[in-house]
């Protein structure tokens, strides 16, 4: 059988398999094929990880209370654990138990809520509950009293008192009393010191208050620690506020309050070094349509089968083949010269995070300075690998310097520069300087610009919403992409650049 037929059979199989699976998923399992206008869902996953000590393990994770108006689906995952949930009027907890566990353990709890629904921080009516007695003593107590005295002389109602207390606590440029108090609290409560201090001050002023835990609805954050919030009682209702923005009501679009009521978030016996990490993902697929998929073996063909923390990684991973496809297209059909075959893909990945104009400025500055430094280095006649390593050091320092300068100039996001692949940049500089010496600066600049153009086109392709949607929800379509790449691999026609290159052909 000739190679030609083998190729076509392979291509047909891949296209058939890819499109067939996608068709089945979309028609029979109800995953929408087009990125539509469906309501987005927030999917919030709590991951409890700890080191089991070999004894009986019992982990109790506080859950969002139904009473706060939170709807949505909840599910838990963990291998080898007995799992149950317990609910009473305002408390809900998930309970995992297992006999004799050791080593690293992970427990997952996942909830889905429709976007724009309640934040979980809505006021809850409650009967009056007097504030706790202060346990502060000595000079610390005196300092606290002075501060309260000063604040209550200006504001009386709980709302403004709360705002005034936290403005004081976080203002930093406080009085001696404040400095004394915050030293005391940071010793007692470490990073939660200021929040605890505010709570105690509020209690002393007669307003019952306690810690609540929230999750920021920002998928870009990746795995995040629970954010401590403050809940206070205004005489009729318990209200949750962000101490960093004490004046404002919690915005349901950017916050979800996971736990309130003052109890601990996690209660663990039989394990140590425990921590809770949240991952937030914005899902476009409506819940109801996923129920079919969950009972289908095809679940494995979607990334939805994975825990969220791992899923977030794939959000970018599935885009890399798309970038590679663009590179193949531009090199073999168009004929653009690039420095290094897949370097543009890595730059395009960085571009997804950094606004393109800024990214290009950063890239140019780093490459220009790096080249200059590389020419200085070349006078020292270093061996190749140490020279590239020296370039890595310089590139790193340049990145730091640029971030600092950008920050001082008041530009937000100077730190994004770290998203550029450093080692790749160093090699780019090295290769560029070699081409500069061997073939002249024109050739070097043409190739760097070619790489940037390819990177920009790859970025543009990878940032199309529909393309991202397909890559993420229909990864089997990558088989179709693979078929296209195979076909280009056997393309023997002219490259576009050759139409230009051979333009003077034929006239004598």
Partner 1 sequence: MRWWHRWLRTPAELRELGVVGINMRNARYILPNNQRKLYRLVDDKLQTKALAEAEGLSVPKTYAVVRSPRDISRIDATLAEYGSFVVKPSRGSGGKGVLVIDGVEHGHYIKPSGAVVTGDDLRSHLSNVLAGMFSLGGTRDVALVEYRVRPAKVLTELSYQGAPDIRVVMLHGYPVMAMLRAATIESDGRANLHQGALGIGLDLATGKTIRAVHHGSPLTIHPDSKVPLIGVQIPDWEEILHIASICQVMTGLGYLGVDLMIDETLGPIMIEVNARPGLAIQMANGVGLMRRLEPVVDQHLKNPHASPEEKVEFSKRSFRTVAMAS
Q: Name the percent of the chain in helix, strand, coil, to the closest 5.
A: 50, 20, 30
Q: Site map for partner 1, 268-297, x if CB under 8 A? A: ------------------------------
Q: Interface with partner 1 includes 1 (CB under 8 A)?
A: no
Closest CA to 74 of 104, 34, 44, 29: 44
Of 117, 274, 292, 332, the one binding partner 1 by CB under 8 A? 332
Give the whole-angstrom CA distance, residue 303 versus residue 280.
Answer: 15
CA distances (Å), origin 408, targets 327, 358, 359, 402, 414: 37, 16, 18, 10, 9
Of 320, 360, 365, 434, the one binding partner 1 by CB under 8 A? 434
Q: Interface with partner 1 includes 385 (CB under 8 A)?
A: yes
Provide the 3-class DSSP secondary structure of residue 146.
helix
Residue with tokens 């007692």: 188
3-state secondary structure 392-407: HHHHHHHHHHHHHHHH
Residues binding partner 1: what is the number (CB under 8 A)? Answer: 28
The residues that bridge with 103 in the sheet, in sequence order, are: 52
Q: Site map for partner 1, 448-487, x if CB under 8 A? A: ----------------------------------------
Of 79, 89, 384, 409, the one binding partner 1 by CB under 8 A? 384
Of 30, 335, 356, 415, the one binding partner 1 by CB under 8 A? 335
Provide the 3-class DSSP secondary structure of residue 369.
helix
Q: Interface with partner 1 includes 499 (CB under 8 A)?
A: yes
Give whichever of 133 and 438 is closer to partner 1, judged by the CB atom: 438
Q: Interface with partner 1 includes 5 (CB under 8 A)?
A: no
Give the whole-angstrom CA distance, residue 161 versus residue 168.
Answer: 11
Structure tokens at 232: 């206070």
Q: How far is the CB of 3 from partner 1 (least distance, A)?
A: 9
Considering only residues 354 to 383 of the shown chain, the ones binding partner 1 according to CB under 8 A are 381, 383
Helix crossing, 176-189 with 158-171: angle to 10°?
Answer: 90
Q: How far is the CB of 459 from partner 1 (least distance, A)?
A: 26
Give whichever of 34 and 500 is closer to partner 1, judged by the CB atom: 500
Give whichever of 82 and 490 is closer to partner 1, judged by the CB atom: 490
Give whichever of 383 and 409 is closer to partner 1, judged by the CB atom: 383
Give whichever of 19 and 446 is closer to partner 1, judged by the CB atom: 446
**Looking at 18-26, 270-278, 365-373, 496-504, which segment touches partner 1 (CB under 8 A)?**
496-504
Q: What are phi and psi of 154, to 5 degrees?
A: -100, -50
**Looking at 228-236, 288-296, 307-315, 493-501, which segment touches partner 1 (CB under 8 A)?**
493-501
Give the whole-angstrom CA distance, residue 301 versus residue 475.
Answer: 7
Q: How far is the CB of 38 from partner 1 (least distance, A)?
A: 43
Residue with tokens 């936290």: 166
Structure tokens at 292: 């079919």
Q: Site map for partner 1, 179-198, x if CB under 8 A? A: --------------------
Q: How far is the CB of 438 from partner 1 (least distance, A)?
A: 6
Provide the 3-class DSSP secondary structure of residue 215.
strand
CA distances (Å), origin 189, targets 44, 74, 192, 241: 27, 32, 6, 20
> What DSSP element (H or E) covers 349?
helix 343-353
Give whichever of 128 and 500 is closer to partner 1, judged by the CB atom: 500
Of 103, 130, 410, 493, the one binding partner 1 by CB under 8 A? 493
Q: How far is the CB of 387 from partner 1 (least distance, A)?
A: 9
Q: How far is the CB of 498 from partner 1 (least distance, A)?
A: 5
The residues that bridge with 272 in the sheet, in sequence order, are: 51
Provide the 3-class DSSP secondary structure of residue 211.
strand
| Binding stretches for partner 1 (CB under 8 A) | 332, 335, 381, 383-385, 434, 438-440, 443, 490-495, 498-508
């Amino acid at each position: 059988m000739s190679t030609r037929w083998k190729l076509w059979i392979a291509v047909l199989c891949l296209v058939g398999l890819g499109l067939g699976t996608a068709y089945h998923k979309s028609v029979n399992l109800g995953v929408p094929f087009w990125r539509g206008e469906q309501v987005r869902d927030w999917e919030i996953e709590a991951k409890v990880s700890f080191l089991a000590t070999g004894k009986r393990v019992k982990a109790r994770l506080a859950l969002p209370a139904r009473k706060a108006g939170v709807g949505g689906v909840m599910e838990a995952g963990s291998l080898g654990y007995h799992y149950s949930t317990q609910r009473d009027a305002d408390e809900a907890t998930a309970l995992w138990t297992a006999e004799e566990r050791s080593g690293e353990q992970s427990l997952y709890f996942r909830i889905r809520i429709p976007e724009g629904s309640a934040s979980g921080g809505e006021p809850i009516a409650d009967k009056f509950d007097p504030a706790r007695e202060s346990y502060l003593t000595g000079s610390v107590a005196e300092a606290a009293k002075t501060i309260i005295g000063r604040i209550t002389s200006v504001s009386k109602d709980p709302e403004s008192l709360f705002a005034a207390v936290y403005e004081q606590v976080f203002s930093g440029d406080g009085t001696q009393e404040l400095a004394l108090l915050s030293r005391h609290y940071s010793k007692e409560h470490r990073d939660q010191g200021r929040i605890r201090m505010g709570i105690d001050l509020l209690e002393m002023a007669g307003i019952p208050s306690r810690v609540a835990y929230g999750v920021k609805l920002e998928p870009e954050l990746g795995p995040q620690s629970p954010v401590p919030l403050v809940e206070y009682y205004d005489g009729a209702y318990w209200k949750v506020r962000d101490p960093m923005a004490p004046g404002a009501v919690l915005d349901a679009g950017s916050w979800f309050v996971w736990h309130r009521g003052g109890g601990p978030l996690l209660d663990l016996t039989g394990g140590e070094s425990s921590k809770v990490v949240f991952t937030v993902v914005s899902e476009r697929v409506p819940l109801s349509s996923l129920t079919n998929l969950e009972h289908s073996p095809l679940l494995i063909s979607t990334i939805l089968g994975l825990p969220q923390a791992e899923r977030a990684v794939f959000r970018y991973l599935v885009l890399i083949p798309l970038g590679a496809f663009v590179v193949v297209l531009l090199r073999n059909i168009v004929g653009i010269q690039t420095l290094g075959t897949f370097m543009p893909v890595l730059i395009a990945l960085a571009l997804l995070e950094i606004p393109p104009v800024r990214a290009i400025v950063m890239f140019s500055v780093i490459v220009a300075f790096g080249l200059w430094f590389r020419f200085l280095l070349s006078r020292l006649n270093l061996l190749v690998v140490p020279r590239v390593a020296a370039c890595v050091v310089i590139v790193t320092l340049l990145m730091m310097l640029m971030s600092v300068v950008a920050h001082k100039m008041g530009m937000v996001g100077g730190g994004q520069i770290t998203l550029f692949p450093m080692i790749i940049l160093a090699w780019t500089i090295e290769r560029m300087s070699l081409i500069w010496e061997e073939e002249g600066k024109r050739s070097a600049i043409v190739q760097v610009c070619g790489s940037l153009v390819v990177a920009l086109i790859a970025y543009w392709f990878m940032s199309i919403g529909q393309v991202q949607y397909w890559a993420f929800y229909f990864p089997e379509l990558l088989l179709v992409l693979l078929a296209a790449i195979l076909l280009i691999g056997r393309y023997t026609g002219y490259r576009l650049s050759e139409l230009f290159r051979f333009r003077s052909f034929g006239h004598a």
